[in-house]
Structure 1
Amino acid sequence: MDRLVKADVKEVELVFKRGQKSTSTFRLTNLMHTMSVAVSLTTQNPSFFSFNKPFSIIPPLSSSSYTLFLSQPSDQPPLTSPPDAITVKTAILPLGKAHLDDLRRLFSKPGRHIFKDATLPISFVGPHVIEHLISCHNHIGETDLFLNKAISGCTGNQLTGLLKSAVVSGKANFVCTLIDHGGDVNDKDSKGRSLIALAVEAGNFDVVNVLISSGCEIDNSADHVLHYAAAINRVDLIEVLFRAYKNVELNSVDFCGRTPIHIAASFGYTEVIRFCLSVGGNPEVLDINRCSPLHLAAQEGHLDVVECLLEASSYAKYALNEHGKTAFALAVENGHSNLYDLLHLGDALNSAARIDDVNGMKRCLVEGANVNCKDQNGWTPLHRAAFKGRIESVKVLLNHGAQVNLVDHNGYTPLHCAVEAGHVEVALLLIAYGAKANVKRLKGLVPLNSDCFKNHLSLVQPLCHEKE
């Protein structure tokens, strides 16, 4: 026999409650048939723990109960790495009796004991321990060990409540462990939102993946997960949600009637918008105030977003909100002059060029219109004026820096437009300003299947060679 006593537990579990006294009781049994056994209880951190009986005597084949106390109430458990433990020292007591001082002297003697000391690890359990581990930002050694021990003192409902905290805090390993031990992955918060919604709102990509793989479901009526992801500029979250859930709708609206594209437009998140558009997002949805995403982007002055939305929608520029205002009007109201050209002046300049309104063109250019802006077909004002044969408009545009060799979506330059429409005087002016018009280049850019083009090409061809 190498031990004199046997404990009724392999480790002592101490239910920690924040700000309250914590105790745990265990029993030791004397294994000797005829001899009493003296017992000494100590811990590695006596400032944290105390015993009701640090020294005691157990009669033959008898048992005795002991209580471990957390010395002072605390707001957090005194976790140490490695965890603390109770050392149980024993000695045979032939007379069966001894004073307390005698026991102290007995166990204070140096030297090797004949019988082995017993060691009982101390584990802190309960939800308050897990709450502390979740909230702790500093690294705690053996955190997973502490977590697994603490779970044994929690009910299923407590684990579910703790699961929400772990999700919001971004502790993916805690989320896994709590789900594995009974936390309800499909529990809802007070607003009916799923854990996925909480994780997305907090921007926790790893947690989102854990919840998806654990079977967390979403409810589109309450879980505006794509909206949450759009609000924090997280294309990665939108993509993983879109791939994982077939019922996620890119054009779903929140309580304000806004789609994820609306949300991204209001914050200026161009990449989110581009992704949404690439997988079927509609840039022309109107919210409850009849505002399109373009209205919101213009109101906030987000140039890149405005450009992106204009590429995707020709209608949105002219849409009126509930107050009858276009996106351009909102840009003016908020002083975003960098948007004027895109939202209005470019149209006005093209219109003036089409009807040869020289004064109108000059006014647009003074106000900030881009002389080389392109419409949905890639035409600049110079393309339009050249095609219409508006010689005065062409002069104004050239004098304000219009580029003569810009091509539209079909490869036409302003010179092509002038030649095809038969406006020789305009063609000569463009060539004088450097328009490249040799026959080889024209053949390379424009299909020569127009009778009108063939007729007028002969007029310009000699001039092209003279220029060269």
Structure 2
Amino acid sequence: MGLVFRAAAAAQGLGEDLRGAAVRHWRGLSRTPKHEAPWEEEAEAAGPEFLLPNERSFQNAAKSNNLDLMEKLFDKKVNINAVNNMNSTALHFAVGANHLSAVDFLLNHKARVDVADKHGLTVIHLAAWSGGLEIMLLLVRAGADQRAKNQDGMNALHFAAQSNNVRIVEYLIQDLHLKELDQPDEKGRKPFLLAAERGHVEMIEKLVFLNLRTSEKDKEGNTALHLAAKHGHSPAVRVLLTQWQEINETNEKGETPFFLAVEGGHEECCKVLAAAGSDINIPNQLNITALQTATRKGHASLVSFLLSEHVDLHPKVEPKESPLHLAVLNNHVTVVNSLLSARHDTDALDQRRQTPLHVAADLGHVELVEALLQASCDLKAIDKQGKTALAVASRSNHSLVVDMLIKAERYYAWREEHGESSRDPSVSFPLTFKQDHSVETRHIRRLLWNLAYRQLKAGEWQRLARSWNFTDEQIRAIEEQWSGKESFREHGYRALLIWLHGALLTQAAPVKHLYEELVRAGFPELAGQPPRSLSPGLEGC
């Protein structure tokens, strides 16, 4: 406390020296311009200005601590208490910019200290916010109302706590004994909650020391721990945890501090709270879990952290959309892969009884469809409208996804028929259902293109497809992407590429197999010559 009293005495002496000094003394003080405060920018955008030219110049001089100009304008009888369109005076700007010399000049010339701007801000609020203890001392001595509130119910203690001005708090509580300032504002937040919301560790510790710590909630049911966690202030959370017993307390929306930290994507804060014993599975009032929130927002590293903490993948209360649905819906590929690696249920149903594959197929997300297909999801599941993922993709005109789904249906049907490990070990092609652009298959794809676009006639590709055990649903799905009378050529080429996908995964010599299949299907004229003359060098493709 000795430091505060010494600062007060020094400021008092400075004030007396300033008031008794000659005009030359004003010219020697600092005139370094400061950055404009936020409320100044608002004033500039508030509409037409009603100040006289000299009054506007005087306010600008107060903003920039230009004492020469202030003195000249004062000698011209300028109204130093004139207000702008926000009802702010020159003293507001001088205090807000923490210009001690300009403030002292104004007070020495009887500037009013009781004017509130359109938001109810007085100079005592601005001094508490900007942190100028010397200015605060001058204002108090000039009669400024220390208990004034703005329109949001905030007083000087609120502003000092919010801006981490410890010396101002000490002065208000220990010197002026204004403990009654420790009241909730219009949002129900006491200074302690505002300090926590801003993550001011020093202020939190000072308020605890002054017995101004509170476990009370604001009007939204948030404690100080909620507010610090919501904004990701890990150091503040650590300090608050030493003061807190119930870390799983919920606000009006049923959100715990941990839930709010996840919602904000604050991973470090989540780790601190989890280590302190937070329940990571508590849903909010809408039965939305922290995992769902992280997946919806695409916080990949947070999802990985939650999975490492053994978060409940399948809560007892059935959610409207599973975490996997939300990750797919928002096209978060990394999150989807993390959930699949953690063995999330690939066949979970949402309110429309759609699986994640239905959603990915409907949106045409190729990478997500690929990931789900490789996870062996249920291809036969139907939604409320009785549609499979293939029917949904076909309806949405996503031809790439349609082809991927047909490839998967055929591959898994073949594997089921021949056993799980029956894939030919000599085949080196990786399991993928995406469109093939590999160099290794370029020649055989050219052969198939020539077959589809130059040799197959309308209706023939369907006949060939049926001989290869394409289902009627698969054929209809291909046909649904119609682009004109010549569509059958594109459809045929797609069917041939789908056949090639299966042949590459199950056959050692796909070109030879194609020759045999064309003959067997009743197209000997298309088969033509034996494989070597059909496509030199490709018989072992």
TM-score, normalization: structure 2?
0.45
Q: What is the CA deviation profile of residues 285-324 of structure 1, one whole-angstrom value per residue up to 9, with x for unaligned ones?
A: 376544221011111111000000000015x111112221
What does residue 271 of structure 1 align with? Answer: 301
The 5 Å alignment of 1:114-125 reads 125=146
Counterpart secondary structure, 2:219: coil
Deviation at 1:167, TM superposition (A): 1.7
Judge conservation of contact 2:261–2:267 (CA < 8 Å) in 1. Answer: yes
Deviation at 1:277, TM superposition (A): 1.4
Larger Rg: 1
Judge conservation of contact 1:199–1:207 (CA < 8 Å) in 2. Answer: yes
What does residue 338 of structure 1 align with? Answer: 367
TM-score, normalization: structure 1?
0.51
Equivalent of residue 179 in structure 2, options 151, 154, 163: 154
Return the structure number with greater relative CO, CA threshold 8 A, min gap 6.
1
Q: What is the CA deviation profile of residues 41-61 of structure 1, one whole-angstrom value per residue up to 9, with x for unaligned ones?
A: xx992522689xxxxxxxxxx
Unaligned runs of at least 5 residues, structure 1 = 1-8, 13-18, 21-42, 52-68, 88-119, 352-362, 373-380, 405-425, 431-468
Corresponding position: 1:48 with 2:90:
no
The 5 Å alignment of 1:240-251 reads 240-244=272-276, 246=277, 248-251=278-281
Q: Which amino acid aligns with 2:422?
A: K
Judge conservation of contact 2:366–2:400 (CA < 8 Å) in 1. Answer: no
What is the alpha-carbon distance in structure 2 between the residues aligned to residue 349 and residue 84 of structure 1? 72
What is the alpha-carbon distance in structure 2 between the residues aligned to residue 133 and residue 395 of structure 1? 67
Deviation at 1:157, TM superposition (A): 4.3
Corresponding position: 1:182 with 2:211:
yes
What does residue 227 of structure 1 align with? Answer: 259
The 5 Å alignment of 1:15-94 reads 45-48=104-107, 71-74=113-116, 75-77=122-124, 79=127, 81=132, 83=134
Judge conservation of contact 2:221–2:250 (CA < 8 Å) in 1. Answer: no
Deviation at 1:149, TM superposition (A): 0.3
Q: Normalized per residue, which structure has more helix? A: 2
Q: Normalized per residue, which structure has more strand? A: 1
What does residue 410 of structure 1 align with? Answer: none
Kindly tell me: are residues 191 and 268 of structure 1, through their superposed partners in 2, closer, same or farther at Cα, counting changes over 3 Å? same
Q: Which amino acid aligns with 1:336?
A: H
What does residue 270 of structure 2 align with? Answer: 238
201-210 or 319-328: which moved more? 201-210
Kindly tell me: are residues 286 and 393 of structure 1, through their superposed partners in 2, closer, same or farther at Cα, counting changes over 3 Å? farther
Deviation at 1:366, TM superposition (A): 7.8
Judge conservation of contact 2:250–2:257 (CA < 8 Å) in 1. Answer: no
Corresponding position: 1:262 with 2:317:
no
Judge conservation of contact 1:285–1:292 (CA < 8 Å) in 2. Answer: no
What does residue 403 of structure 2 align with? Answer: 367
Q: What is the CA deviation profile of residues 237-265 of structure 1, one whole-angstrom value per residue up to 9, with x for unaligned ones?
A: 11111112x3x212221112222111101
Judge conservation of contact 2:349–2:355 (CA < 8 Å) in 1. Answer: yes
Corresponding position: 1:166 with 2:198:
no
Kindly tell me: are residues 306 and 130 of structure 1, through their superposed partners in 2, closer, same or farther at Cα, counting changes over 3 Å? same
Counterpart secondary structure, 1:239: helix
Equivalent of residue 221 in structure 2, options 147, 171, 192: 192
Equivalent of residue 156 in structure 2, options 129, 133, 138: 129
What is the alpha-carbon distance in structure 2 between the residues aligned to residue 396 and residue 131 of structure 1? 63
What does residue 421 of structure 2 align with? Answer: 387
What is the alpha-carbon distance in structure 1 between the residues aligned to residue 103 and residue 249 of structure 2? 54
Equivalent of residue 237 in structure 2, options 199, 208, 211: 208
Q: Which amino acid aligns with 2:178?
A: G
Judge conservation of contact 2:201–2:236 (CA < 8 Å) in 1. Answer: yes
Deviation at 1:394, TM superposition (A): 8.5
Identity score, percent:
17
Deviation at 1:268, TM superposition (A): 0.9
The 5 Å alignment of 1:394-405 reads none
Counterpart secondary structure, 2:265: coil
What is the alpha-carbon distance in structure 1 between the residues aligned to residue 307 and residue 137 of structure 2? 64
The 5 Å alignment of 1:280-359 reads 280-285=310-315, 288-313=318-343, 316-344=345-373, 347=376
What is the alpha-carbon distance in structure 2 between the residues aligned to residue 331 and residue 44 of structure 1? 64
RMSD (CA atoms):
5.0
Kindly tell me: are residues 215 and 281 of structure 1, through their superposed partners in 2, closer, same or farther at Cα, counting changes over 3 Å? same
What does residue 35 of structure 1 align with? Answer: none
What is the alpha-carbon distance in structure 1 between the residues aligned to residue 194 and residue 181 of structure 2? 15
What is the alpha-carbon distance in structure 2 between the residues aligned to residue 403 and residue 230 of structure 1? 45
